[in-house]
Amino acid sequence: MALGWSVIILGFIGQLSAQILNYTQSRDLELLEGSLFRVLSRLNLEEEYNTLLIYGKECVFHSLLRKLEISAVTVPSGSTDYDWSFSTAILILSCGYDAENEENSYTLMKLQRTRRLIYLEDNSEPESVCMRYSLKEQHNIAMVKSDFDQSDTFYSCRLFQTPNYVEGHFFKDQPIYIENFQNMRGATIRTVADSLVPRTILYRDEKSGETKMMGYLGHMINTYAQKLNAKLHFIDTSKLGAKKPSVLDIMNWVNEDIVDIGTALASSLQFKNMDSVWYPYLLTGYCLMVPVPAKMPYNLVYSMIVDPLVLSIIFVMLCLFSVLIIYTQHLSWKNLTLANILLNDKSLRGLLGQSFPFPPNPSKHLKLIIFVLCFASVMITTMYEAYLQSYFTQPPSEPYIRSFRDIGNSSLKMAISRLEVNVLTSLNNSHFREISEDHLLIFDDLSEYLVLRDSFNTSFIFPVSVDRWNGYEEQQKLFAEPAFYLATNLCFNQFMLFSPPLRRYLPHRHLFEDHMMRQHEFGLVTFWKSQSFIEMVRLGLASMEDLSRKRNEEVSLLLDDISWILKLYLGAMFISSFCFILEILRCGERCKRLWRCRW
């Protein structure tokens, strides 16, 4: 009987203990949920979020969702198979340090900077957890343990320090998340420069012996490293198989995570996949740099000012004045012959601005005709004199190239690199197709092509970005005459974006993009561009020599300059002599006799 009562009492005590334990656990869970609720509320105040993403199997975060009036997405498997299109601010909650095993690359890139709060049920060390996430280049990590409601302790990962985490207390208002890359404490940023002046100029400092960089793109990278308290590490590209790397090489190294930030500019025409190229640094066009047409030789000036239409009008005026003068003198049409009209002495000499014998006792009509003739002669001679003097002072230029088809009709060829040809061909550019292959000079060596373009060789037309043209325009201010002009009507593309290549999972990408925008906002990019030519001269990469095509200016006109006038004069003298000989031989009378005898 006593044994039975003992069993009953022990059963009652066990049941009571279980109820007490369940109550205690429920009470502890409520306290933990309340503490975590305050944490999530504080995080929402610091940086607002409106979606929770919960990784892992059920934990305290799932039960906390009942108290939060907010959208939530649960991923028990720890990974998604498709690209999440998050259009809202996200906060990630993980039920364990190994709960998140996201495999989708696009989702990883979008969630890289997202804040993460990890609930640790076991005795995991914060240092190992921070190391695990650091290898995935995710640094906004905070951790709480199951006793958070009692200890009020959280752990936050910190980069560039040892140990790689800090221990804080929630109610002491200590920061949970910080921007780790505001101070990199001398850490390196790996880069490779494409050495395309004036945007990037590499040189070795004589004092320190270190490799340094100038140019408007180089200055932007330098100031960014100084802002983050970091150092630039220039990778030895010869070990990678490229002595002078191109932007294609740099893009490949960026995709292979060898380079963090490429000191180069990738064009939107070259790359369709922009995973490694994000915020644009430059917005420019891609046009032709055309030689300024040569001045017309002086001996062709006369043919320039003698327009056929104007000559036809003057000839008609000559005939009209001859007819009017002959009729008003005799008031008869008897003397109106072809010879008297075409070779009228008064009309011809009057239009040329020369004196001619005035008939005695002229009528009012004849005076009026002579007055109009003199006025016409003043207008004609003044016009041609003005044209002649102005053209001799500043001769007109040869015809400009107005379209891409005009290149085929000119004696100039377009020099272009093989890289640019491949890009334009792949884009099926309609303007490029208008240029025949006979008028293309393609360079396989990009360096050789750039040297030719920098020499201002006026035998070729060069494609150039509007951004690079600004440097050429600045250099040509030192020339006596500009050698090239930018043909804004001859552009392959007028809207082209240039962006620095960035490693896909670069954790401080947002800081770099913000830095670029601030440089433009404060006008530093424009200032650095204006100083590019001076920097090139200082480093011996450009000279202040006048490379323009100089015109030999003579003190006075040469015999060759008036060759056309002399030829016309000799031709007129020959015709006059021939007519004089015919008159002496009385060929006119003999021709009339023969004509009469024939009839």
pLDDT value at position 414?
A: 93
Whether the ω angle into residue 395 lies within 30 degrees of 0, i.e. cis, is: no
Report angle CA 209, 263, 219 to the nearest 5 degrees: 65
* Contact (Cβ atoms closer than 8 angstroms) between residue 435 and residue 252: no
Do you know the residue count of the chain? 599
pLDDT value at position 220?
A: 94
Residue 74 has φ and ψ, to the nearest 5°, of -105, 135
β-bridge pairing 440-443 and 413-417: parallel
Report angle CA 542, 546, 547 to the nearest 5 degrees: 80
* Secondary structure percentages of the chain, helix, strand, coil, to 5: 45, 15, 35
Exposure string of 365-394, with b = 16+ CB inside 10 Å and e = fewer, is ebeebbeebeebbeebeeeeeebeeebeee
* Contact (Cβ atoms closer than 8 angstroms) between residue 560 and residue 493: no
pLDDT value at position 362?
A: 76
The reply to whether the predicted model has a pTM over 0.85 is no
CA–CA separation, 115 vs 127, rounded Å? 18
pLDDT value at position 272?
A: 65
pLDDT value at position 460?
A: 93
Helix or strand holding residue 489 (H, E): strand 484-499
Structure tokens at 141: 């990590």
Measured torsion, CA atoms of residues 415, 419, 422, 423, in degrees rounded to the nearest 10 = -100
* Contact (Cβ atoms closer than 8 angstroms) between residue 531 and residue 542: no
CA–CA separation, 413 vs 441, rounded Å? 7
pLDDT along the chain (599 residues), means of 10: 53 48 53 86 89 89 83 86 75 91 85 92 87 92 88 91 90 88 93 89 85 92 95 90 86 91 86 68 90 81 78 86 82 74 80 78 81 87 84 80 85 90 87 88 90 90 90 87 89 88 90 93 90 86 76 63 78 84 73 68
pLDDT value at position 575?
A: 85
Helix, coil or strand: residue 399: coil
The CATH number of the domain covering residues in 17-178 = 3.40.50
* Helices marked H in 394-497: 404-409, 418-426, 430-433, 446-454, 466-476
- Which one of 1.10.630.10, 3.30.300.30, 3.40.190.10, 2.40.70.10 gives the CATH number of domain 285-295+397-498? 3.40.190.10
**Maximum Cα–Cα distance across the chain:** 180
pLDDT value at position 17?
A: 46
pLDDT value at position 23?
A: 39
What are the residues whose beta carbons fall under 8 Å from the beta carbon of 449, sequence distance 6 or more? 415, 416, 417, 443
pLDDT value at position 19?
A: 46
Structure tokens at 226: 């100084």
- Which one of 2.40.70.10, 3.40.718.10, 2.60.40.180, 3.40.190.10 gives the CATH number of domain 180-281+500-552? 3.40.190.10
The one-letter code for the residue type at 415 is A
Helix, coil or strand: residue 484: strand
pLDDT value at position 550?
A: 61
